[in-house]
Amino acid sequence: MGRDVGNGVDRREQTRFNVRAGVTFEWRDAKGVQRREQGVTRDISSKGSFIFSDSLPPAKVDLRLEVLFGPLVGEGSNLRLEAEALVLRVEPATGSDTSSGFAVLNKSHNLADLRFLEPPETYRRSEPN
């Protein structure tokens, strides 16, 4: 069930939201050395995200993500998502007007309810009897 997106079909099962948030990610390189880099999300869903970064992990590598959403819930609060993820694809910059980045699939995360990303009309309110 895909959505028509111009001359192609979007095959994503989850809606992605344009959310800019800081990301720290780490993985072990081919030599077993722990790497830690930073980036910014382009979009995010409960299943995965796309991250802009000048430092790219290799495709098919497992990594640990920490996404800091900033003060979205209220003053003085910072919402954070920690996830184990798999790098699905890597997109190097193709010119001076493009950014490099990579797509990840969440394998596990400790923020199971990402309703804060859903449009408010999707929340169910209990009706008084």
Dump pLDDT digits (tens) for 76-112: 556 778 889 999 999 999 888 789 999 999 887 644 4
Asked if residue 63 lies in contact with residue 27, where contact means CB atoms within 8 angstroms, the answer is yes
Pairwise CA distance, residues 26 & 64, whole Å: 5
pLDDT tens digits, one per residue of 22-62 = 999 999 999 999 999 999 999 988 788 999 999 999 999 99
Helix (H) or strand (E) holding 36: strand 34-44
Pairwise CA distance, residues 91 & 52, whole Å: 9
Asked if residue 47 lies in contact with residue 105, where contact means CB atoms within 8 angstroms, the answer is yes
Which residues are bridge partners to 85 per DSSP? 63, 106
Q: What angle do CA 99, 104, 105 make, to 5 degrees?
A: 160
CATH number of 15-110: 2.40.10.220
Count of beta carbons in the 10 Å neighbourhood of residue 118:
14
Question: Is pTM, for the whole model, over 0.85?
Answer: no
pLDDT tens digits, one per residue of 73-82 = 555 556 778 8
